[in-house]
Structure 1
Amino acid sequence: MNINKSFSHISYTLDNEEYSKLALKMLAGSKSLNIIKPVNIRNNGARRFMYSVKDLSELTSVCSGLDEGSICLILSRYKGVIREIESQTFLKKKFLELEPDRIFIDSTTREVKFIIVPAFSDSESDSHRIFLEKNYSFISRIFGNRESFVDRRLQDLSKICVDIKGKKEDDTSRIEWLEKLFAYISKEYDQNCVIKEDDADISDIENSMKIKEIELNYDGEYGIFTFYITKKTFFIGKSDGNDGILAMNPAVSRTHCRIDIDGDKVYITDLGSSNHTYIDGLMITDDQNVLLKDGSVLRIADMDFKVVFNYE
Structure 2
Amino acid sequence: MKTLNSQTHISFKLDSGESVSSFGMNMIRQMNNENILDTAQVEIDGSETIVCRTEGLDSIESIKERLTLGERRNLVIGLSNLINSFAENSFLNKEFIVLDADKIFLSPEDGHAKFAVLPLVANNAGSFGREWLERLYKYLKEIVLIGDIDADADLRDLKEKVESIAGNHDYLTNELFDLCRFISTRFNNFQYSKPENASKKSKNIEVKLAYDGQYGRFALFIVKNGFVIGNDDSCDGKILFNGAISRKHGEVYIEDGECFYEDLGSANHSGLNGQVLNAGEKVRIQNGDVLRLADMDLRVEIVESAG
Q: Does TM-score exceed 0.5, indicating one fold?
A: yes
Structure 1 residues 67-106: aligned runs within 5 Å: 67-106=68-107
Structure with larger RCO (C-alpha < 8 A, sep 6+): 1
Query: Which residue in 2 is equivalent to 1:63?
Result: 64
Partner amino acid for 2:18? E
- SS of 2:11's equivalent in the other structure is strand
- Does the aligned pair in 1 maintain the 2:41–2:51 contact within 8 Å? yes
- Does the aligned pair in 2 maintain the 1:103–1:115 contact within 8 Å? yes
Q: Do structure 1's residue 108 and structure 2's residue 101 form an aligned pair? A: no
Distance 1:71 1:42, change over 3 A: same
Q: Structure 2 CA distance, aligned partners of 1:190 and 1:167? A: 26
Distance 1:204 1:74, change over 3 A: farther
Partner amino acid for 1:91? L
Q: Deviations over 1:221-261 (max 9, x none)?
A: xxxxxxxxxxxxxxxxxxxxxxxxxxxxxxxxxxxxxxxxx
Query: Which residue in 1 is equivalent to 2:207?
Result: none
Partner amino acid for 2:30? G
- SS of 2:55's equivalent in the other structure is coil
- Does the aligned pair in 1 maintain the 2:96–2:120 contact within 8 Å? yes
Structure 1 residues 7-22: aligned runs within 5 Å: 7-15=7-15, 16-22=17-23
Residue 205 of structure 1, CA deviation: 9.6
Partner amino acid for 1:135? L
Residue 126 of structure 1, CA deviation: 0.7
TM-score (norm 2): 0.58
Residue 174 of structure 1, CA deviation: 3.3
Structure 1 residues 195-274: aligned runs within 5 Å: 197=191, 200-203=193-196
Q: Deviations over 1:15-71 (max 9, x none)?
A: 121321111101222222221132111123211111111222101222233333332
Distance 1:190 1:34, change over 3 A: closer
Residue 122 of structure 1, CA deviation: 5.0
Q: Do structure 1's residue 180 and structure 2's residue 181 form an aligned pair? A: no
- SS of 2:41's equivalent in the other structure is strand
Partner amino acid for 1:85? F
Q: Structure 1 CA distance, aligned partners of 2:14 and 2:67? A: 34
Partner amino acid for 1:102? K
Query: Which residue in 1 is equivalent to 2:25?
Result: 24
Structure 1 residues 154-193: aligned runs within 5 Å: 154-164=155-165, 166-169=166-169, 171=170, 173-190=171-188
Residue 129 of structure 1, CA deviation: 0.3
- SS of 1:50's equivalent in the other structure is strand
Residue 128 of structure 1, CA deviation: 1.0
Query: Which residue in 2 is equivalent to 1:120?
Result: 121
Residue 74 of structure 1, CA deviation: 2.1
Partner amino acid for 2:133? L
Q: Structure 1 CA distance, aligned partners of 2:167 and 2:142? A: 18
RMSD: 2.7
- SS of 1:48's equivalent in the other structure is strand
Partner amino acid for 1:78? L
Residue 204 of structure 1, CA deviation: 6.8
Residue 148 of structure 1, CA deviation: 5.2
- Does the aligned pair in 2 maintain the 1:10–1:51 contact within 8 Å? yes
5+ long unaligned stretches in structure 2: 200-232, 234-307
- Does the aligned pair in 1 maintain the 2:97–2:117 contact within 8 Å? yes
- SS of 2:109's equivalent in the other structure is coil
- SS of 1:35's equivalent in the other structure is coil
| Runs of 4+ in structure 1 over 6 Å off | none
Residue 121 of structure 1, CA deviation: 4.9
Distance 1:110 1:145, change over 3 A: closer
Query: Which residue in 2 is equivalent to 1:44?
Result: 45
- Does the aligned pair in 1 maintain the 2:109–2:198 contact within 8 Å? no
Q: Percent identity?
A: 22
Query: Which residue in 2 is equivalent to 1:150?
Result: 151
- Does the aligned pair in 2 maintain the 1:64–1:143 contact within 8 Å? no
- Does the aligned pair in 2 maintain the 1:20–1:90 contact within 8 Å? no
- Does the aligned pair in 2 maintain the 1:66–1:205 contact within 8 Å? no
Q: Structure 1 CA distance, aligned partners of 2:153 and 2:65? A: 20
Residue 144 of structure 1, CA deviation: 4.7
